[in-house]
């Protein structure tokens, strides 16, 4: 399909998804045909989506980027989630050769020293594995929400991803954190115990801290950097990647 067609399809989907509940949104996407992949970080939002996929037995692949630097609590939650919903979460790991090359150039924890080094680490441990996870996919489903940060305030339900030439679906775009928490409580969804310890957004262990009262949800990610638009590069287009990865 051409980029123009995908842009038009994404615009149509964005309108259709707005009027549906979460189950309806995911069912609509699952019925579009082609390979649909949901990438989960095992955060509270992603656990809600996984619960819907598992409970409704939707034909959506569930994948996670097992970076090699995740919290033990996150790793344990992968197994717990698979067991509860009788699903397989496919792990995509970085290549050892890429890790070795990074460590030789920057040092294993060189991401603390410069933004360039941190971008490079995210590239090795997240972006390259993501590329493998999405190879051949026509739909990419994420847990992005408008309330997560100012940088995500305009998140649509559906958008064309020009870097990966697919349609990206954000079915929780309009959900706020209180609705997320209520869903989790009412449906006995397993969540990362770090959330209760002040970690609303959880990534790699060396790059994540608990937030302080009044801080935005993602303030604990790459906390030593000053840029308020800090991202790993998964959810930014190429023209903005240099500033916001």
Beta strands at 89-92 and 36-39: parallel, antiparallel or unpaired: unpaired
Of 232, 240, 243, 244, catalytic: 232
Active site residue 232: yes
Helical residues (DSSP H) of 3-161, grouped into ranges: 3-18, 22-30, 44-55, 72-85, 96-106, 115-122, 128-133
**Contact between 222 and 207 (Cβ < 8 Å):** yes
Residue 225 is encoded by which pair of tokens? 């950097």
C-alpha 220: how far from chain center: 16
The sheet with strand 89-92 has its strands ordered as 89-92, 61-65, 36-39, 139-141, 166-169, 158-161
Specify the DSSP element, H or E, that contains 159: strand 158-161
59 annotated ligand-binding residue:
no
108 annotated ligand-binding residue:
no
207 annotated ligand-binding residue:
yes
175 annotated ligand-binding residue:
no
Active site residues: 232
Enumerate the known binding-site residues: 121-122, 204, 207
Enumerate the known binding-site residues for [4Fe-4S] cluster: 121-122, 204, 207
């Amino acid at each position: 399909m051409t980029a123009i067609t995908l842009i038009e399809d994404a615009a149509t989907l964005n309108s259709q998804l707005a009027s549906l509940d979460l189950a309806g949104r995911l069912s609509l996407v699952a019925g579009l045909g082609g390979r649909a992949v949901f990438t989960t970080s095992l955060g509270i939002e992603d656990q809600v989506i996984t619960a819907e996929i598992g409970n409704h037995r939707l034909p959506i692949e569930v994948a996670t980027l097992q970076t090699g630097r995740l919290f033990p609590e996150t790793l344990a939650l992968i197994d717990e989630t698979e067991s509860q919903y009788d699903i397989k979460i496919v792990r995509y790991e970085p290549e050892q050769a890429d890790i070795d090359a990074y460590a030789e150039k920057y040092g294993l924890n060189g991401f603390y020293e410069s933004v360039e080094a941190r971008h490079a680490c995210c590239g090795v441990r997240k972006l390259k594995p993501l590329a493998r996870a999405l190879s051949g996919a026509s739909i990419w489903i994420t847990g992005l929400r408008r309330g997560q940060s100012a940088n995500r305030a305009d998140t649509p339900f559906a958008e064309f991803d020009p870097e990966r030439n697919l349609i990206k679906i954000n079915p929780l775009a309009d959900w706020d954190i209180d609705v997320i928490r209520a869903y989790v409580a009412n449906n006995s969804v397993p969540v990362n115990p770090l959330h209760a310890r002040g970690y609303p957004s959880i990534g790699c262990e060396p790059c994540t801290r608990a937030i302080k009262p009044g801080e935005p949800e993602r303030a604990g990610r790459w906390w030593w950097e000053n840029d308020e638009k800090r991202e790993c590069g998964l959810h930014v287009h190429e023209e903005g990647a240099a500033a916001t990865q």
